């Protein structure tokens, strides 16, 4: 899936943000908010749409809209670029298929090493006990 094809469907809104900028913070709308409708996107296939709806469920609104914000930079353009990169990373990460984990067992050497460490630790703790000198 080429995420850059989805960028024309993305809409941006800007608002005043907190953070660095001094008096400029109160005057300039630098906070960038990216909106992308997963449910209404004509570029997504049904499989891609269901994958995004499942994997991004906690980031979507009730209308199936993905909303991302960025406000740490001082300029609108920088925040817009950062939120766009965040969007691209998020979509690409959602489409990565994890290979199933193959069940494996620890090697004999690893088990023996773990047991040796346990024996040594047990011996250290045993030697810390009170010594009875009344023999």
For the stretch 83-109, pLDDT in tens is: 999 999 999 999 998 899 999 999 999
| Domain 3-94 indexed as CATH 3.30.160.20 | yes
- Residues 49 and 9: their CA atoms lie apart, in Å, by 14
Question: Which residues, other chains included, contact 63 with Cβ-Cβ below 8 Å and sequence gap of 6+?
Answer: 37, 39
Which residues have CB under 8 Å from 29's CB, separation 6+? 14, 15, 16, 17, 76
Residue-wise pLDDT for 37-73, tens only, equals: 999 889 989 999 999 999 989 999 999 899 999 988 8
């Amino acid at each position: 899936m080429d995420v850059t094809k989805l960028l024309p469907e993305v809409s941006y809104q800007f608002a005043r943000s907190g953070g660095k900028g001094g008096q400029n913070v109160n005057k300039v709308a630098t906070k960038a908010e990216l909106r992308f409708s997963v449910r209404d996107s004509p570029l997504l296939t049904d499989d891609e749409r269901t994958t995004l709806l499942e994997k991004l469920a906690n980031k979507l609104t009730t209308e199936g809209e993905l909303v991302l914000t960025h406000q740490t930079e001082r300029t609108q353009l920088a925040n817009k670029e950062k939120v766009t990169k965040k969007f691209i990373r998020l979509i690409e990460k959602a489409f990565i298929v994890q290979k199933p984990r193959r069940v494996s067992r620890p090697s004999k050497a690893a088990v023996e090493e773990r047991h040796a460490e346990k024996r040594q630790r047990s011996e250290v703790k045993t030697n810390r006990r009170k010594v009875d000198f009344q023999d």
